[in-house]
Amino acid sequence: MVTTRRPATGGTASARRAVEVAGRVRDPEMPMLTLADLGVLRGVEVVRDAEGGEVVIASITPTYTGCPAMATMRDDLVHRLNDAGFARVEVWVVLDPPWSSDWISERGRAALRAAGLSAPGPAPRRTGPVPLTLGPPRSVPPCPRCGSAATRLTSEFGATACKALYRCTGCLEPFEHVKEI
């Protein structure tokens, strides 16, 4: 377990720089997004250990439990922060509250659309048991290429855990949609 640490004093400039450096790290699977825009970067702080040495603690949360990109995110954060002069970096995992697609920033949504991906709508807010859905989805996202509302779900599982596959019946192009969770 991690030893008790006290917050860095007089290190606010350094903390701001760490936030800025970590904020530029991109998602390995959807590189049009930064980890911050995807909403998986949950915090960056600079603390001091018992000897007074500076340690950056960056916290990330998985989009899906089995997300295989977590190790790459961790490595990328450590390396970019090392490059920026922070010799000691720890990456912590935050599980609670779980990631929601609602945390994707406006800038992130624009980046998804610019890359031909369909951005998620509002995540469902449930109280009580999840209803079983045997029919096709009630609403479908518009085509990110031609804007047509006539699209069809191909599969709720795509090339990465966070995306579903759709096809536009207007322009006939397939597209990926970031799922609402």
Residues forming contacts to another protein in the complex (CB under 8 A) are 1-2, 57, 59, 62, 64-72, 74-76, 79, 90-99, 129-130, 132-134, 154-159, 161, 165, 181
Rounded to a whole number of angstroms, the minimum distance from the CB of residue 153 to another protein is: 10
Between β-strands 41-48 and 163-168, what pairing exists: parallel, antiparallel or unpaired?
Answer: unpaired
Of 7 and 68, which CB lies nearer to another protein in the complex structure?
Answer: 68
Tokens found for residue 156: 């709720």
Q: How far is the CB of 132 from another protein (least distance, A)?
A: 6
With respect to another protein, which residue has the nearer C-beta, 9 or 155? Answer: 155
Q: Which is nearer to another protein, 148 or 154 (CB)?
A: 154
Shortest Cβ 23–another protein spacing (Å): 19
Q: Which residues contact 137 (CB under 8 A, 6 or more apart)?
A: 153
Contact 46, 54 (CB under 8 A): yes
CB of 109 to another protein, least distance (A): 20
Structure tokens at 65: 């439990």
> How far, CA to CA in Å, does 44 sit from each of 17, 35, 73, 103?
10, 12, 14, 17
What is the rounded distance in angstroms from the CA atom of residue 108 to the CA atom of residue 168? 23
Token pair 């980046």: residue: 111
- Of the pair 71, 114, the CB lying nearest another protein is at 71
Q: Report residue 57 as tokens.
A: 């603690």
Nearer to another protein, 18 or 67 (CB): 67
Supply the minimum distance, in Å, between the C-beta of residue 47 and another protein.
12
